[in-house]
Amino acid sequence: MKYLYLIFLFALVSGELIAQEEQDTILPIQFSGVVVTQDEYGEPVPLPYTSLGIMGTSRGTSSDYEGFFSIVALTGDTVVFSRIGFKTVHFVIPDTLDSQHYSWYQIMSRDSILLPEAIIYPWPSREHFKIELLAMDISNELRAQTEENLATEVMTKLEYTVPIDGGEAYHWEAQKSFDRQRYSGQFKPQNILNVAAWKEFIDAWKRGDFKRKKKKK
């Protein structure tokens, strides 16, 4: 029984030493480099916004506008380079490195993507769409509801009540930032002498935009 205990203890200590040695060979490194591709003349050019991911983990990054990237990885990790329109590349970081920094120059090859055929039938204008929609063979109830929903008053009300989406919010903030840069270091013109601003104010007044809405009891 004593010998069995010694054998078990020796195997346990040996396993821990082996695991410690294997763990010591896995080193964290700063994996940096540049992602490039070929232009129409065959010259290398930076490839921005290329996605990089460590396979089997949730860690990743992307190359900047100049194609540069940098991410902390482990020796032996598989780094996946991917971008729409280019072939995906898998790169294994060598496990024989003796430095905490490793640089890499990744070349991405273009890939052809075949999309299914799509036939688009555009309407010349919104009014044409409205005419064609109302000409559809639908019930009188649906027809009346469609005409009510497309009424000018309803559409105008929705324009002022429906919240803006992400694209509209971005353009709004971009316009405000542009105005701040344009009038930087000087006084911003006042709309009190702006004829167009007065016209918009009078039109809004006529529409009743400033009237208080009655609360429903």
* Number of structural domains the chain divides into: 2
Confidence of residue 51 (pLDDT cuts 50, 70, 90): very high
Say if CB 90 and CB 79 are below 8 A apart. Answer: yes
User: Where in the sequence is the domain holding 133, given as residue range(s)?
Assistant: 126-187
**Cβ partners under 8 Å of residue 60, min gap 6:** 51, 52, 53, 54, 71
Residues 30 and 102 in one domain: yes
Residues 132 and 102 in one domain: no
> Does residue 17 carry a pLDDT above 50?
no
Residues 40 and 100 in one domain: yes
Say if CB 110 and CB 83 are below 8 A apart. Answer: no
Residues 161 and 96 in one domain: no
Average pLDDT in the chain:
78
pLDDT score, position 118: 75
* Within-domain flag for 43: yes
pLDDT digits (tens, 9 = 90+) for 86-145: 999 999 999 888 888 999 999 999 887 777 777 777 777 778 877 877 777 777 787 788
CATH of the domain at 98: 2.60.40.10
At which residue do the structure tokens 């208080």 appear? Answer: 212
Residues 97 and 138 in one domain: no
